[in-house]
Each structure stands twice: as C-alpha cells, then as structure tokens.
Amino acid sequence: MTIQEHKKQLRKEVSQIKKDFSPEFLLSLSVSILKQLEKEQAFIHASVIAFYHALPDEVRTIDFIEKWYTKKTILLPVIQNDEMYFLPYQGKEFLQTGTLGITEPVATEDVKKEYTIDLAIIPGMAFDINLNRMGRGKGYYDRFLSETTAHKIGICFDFQLYQSIPCEPFDIRMDTIITDKQIIR
C-alpha cells in the first residue's frame, strides 16, 4: 500500500469513527479541548492567532472564537484561487460560505495582506504521538505550515490520535497536540 493509499484509508476510517458520536458529545469534547488550549503559554502570550471555523466533524471553534476575538486578533482562512490566506474575524455577521463549503470571513480587504502570526491552531483528520498531522488531502495547511514560524498547536478528538500515521517529506509536525484527554509535546 502506498502512503497516499494509506492516508486515504485512514481518512475514511476517521470519518466513520466521527459518525459514531452525536454532535452534542463532540461539542462537549470540544469544550474540554479548548479549555486546555486557554491554559497553554503559547496561547496566553499570543496576540495574533491563526485559527479555523470548524466543519461539522471537527473540534467546534465558533464559541471560542467569539469569546476571544475582541481580546486577540483571530485570523481565519479564506480560500481564493486555490490558495489559502488569513483574514481577521470581525463577528458572525461578516462570515460567508467559501468555495469549499467552509465558513470564512467576507473578504473586505486585500486577502494577500501578510500578518505576523504568533500561534497557529491547526485542524486535522489524524495526528500521532510524534506530533505528525494528516489533513484532508488538499495541501492548504501543508503550504501554510511550511512558511510560518508561528507555534503550531494541532487540536483533535482523542480518537483521532494514533501511535503513528503515514507521513511524507512535506508534512509539517506540530509543536503541541491537544486532545480531550491529553497534551502531546
């Protein structure tokens, strides 16, 4: 089995596992994960944070974003011309459904504006105890992670954390992974 085939199989496995849990249960796990995030020194000291607006099967982030966006600059990804950029979150009324069905900020400014990001909170389909991450396969976060010097924290449900996941040379490791049961450094 090739690495790509293994990744595809693992994505399918994780997607199936997620379907076994109710949205309410995943929300309760999300609250636990984000409470841990708030205690992290990298979060406490960060002024500009690259975050994400969760898809229905990811760690739910909108309440957390709402809680913090007036205290810190929270940037959310915007996909334009097959590239991922970040724009500041300015409230729910300034969100739209983007090209991939992902909720993103309305581009009221130049999406190519550069921000100095202190902390990047990263979603993933699976992570492992060696701080590796596997995304959905589009490569947006791989390209972003290869260019940022920000502290990288992957957040996921504990059932998404494996002993080992397939990795390729372009896959960027996290600095920290937070689940509902543990923190890996």
User: Phi then psi for 110, rounded to 5 degrees?
Assistant: -65, 115
- Which tens digits make up the pLDDT trace of 126-177? 999 999 999 998 899 999 999 999 999 999 999 999 999 999 988 999 999 9
Measured between alpha carbons, how far is 24 from 66 in angstroms, rounded to an integer? 19
CB 120 within 8 A of CB 73: no
Q: What is the pLDDT of residues 21-61, one digit of tens each?
A: 999 999 999 999 999 999 999 999 999 999 999 999 999 99
| pLDDT score at 83 | 87
Query: Rounded to an integer, what distance in angstroms lies between the CA atom of residue 58 and that of residue 54?
Result: 5
Whole-prediction pTM value? 0.95
Domains located in the chain, CATH noted: 3-184 (3.40.50.10420)
* The pLDDT of residue 109 is above 80: no
